[in-house]
Amino acid sequence: MKKILFIALALLTFSFVSSTKESIHQFTVKDIDGDNFAFSSLKGKKVMVVNTASKCGLTPQYEKLEALYQKYKDQGFVIVGFPANNFMSQEPGTDAEIKSFCLKNYGVSFPMMSKISVKGKDMSNVYHFLTEKGRNGLEDSSVKWNFQKYLIDEAGHLIKVISPKTQPNDPEIISWIEGIK
């Protein structure tokens, strides 16, 4: 009897802990054109969230991000870019200027959101989710620089935080997208 009660209590505790883990699918944000973008529309897809900037030494990553998106977009993968001006004012432009820059210089076609803050007092709710273990269930993190990547599984849960300097076509990222363990 004690064993059964212990197992029941363990299962109840596990289900409570796992049910407190949030999902990125709960968020709706503004895209770069000012329209609503519901992350719930990405249910069933693997997602890479990345904070971007147009005047950064890492800005050429846009080219590899776009190539990655083109290669895997029809296989249930999407990249969501969030322009942010948190690091040395490297994203000073308006949404319209950022959109034009990304299209003209890198042919960006993956979803780009309206410019936000990824750290500090005005941090967006999405980034609170991405950086707080109490919300994402994985780990606490801070956005170190432009082009930090967050990998989100098909259920909307944070799986891994990737360094800004890690290239979008890194074997670890490719293996995750392709489902290779």
Give the residue numbers marked as catalytic.
Answer: 56
> Cα–Cα distance between 120 and 86 in angstroms, integer?
9
Cβ atoms 62, 105 nearer than 8 A:
yes
Distance in angstroms (rounded) separating the CA atoms of residues 42 and 25: 7
* Sequence-distant (≥ 6) Cβ neighbours of residue 87 within 8 angstroms: 53, 56, 145, 146
141 φ, ψ to 5°?
A: -150, 170
Task: List all residues 6 or more positions away from 68 whose beta carbon is below 8 Å from its beta carbon.
Answer: 48, 77, 79, 168, 169, 173, 177
Let me know: does 10 contact 40? Beta carbons within 8 Å: no
CA distance 135 to 166: 25
In single-letter form, the type of residue at position 163 comes to S
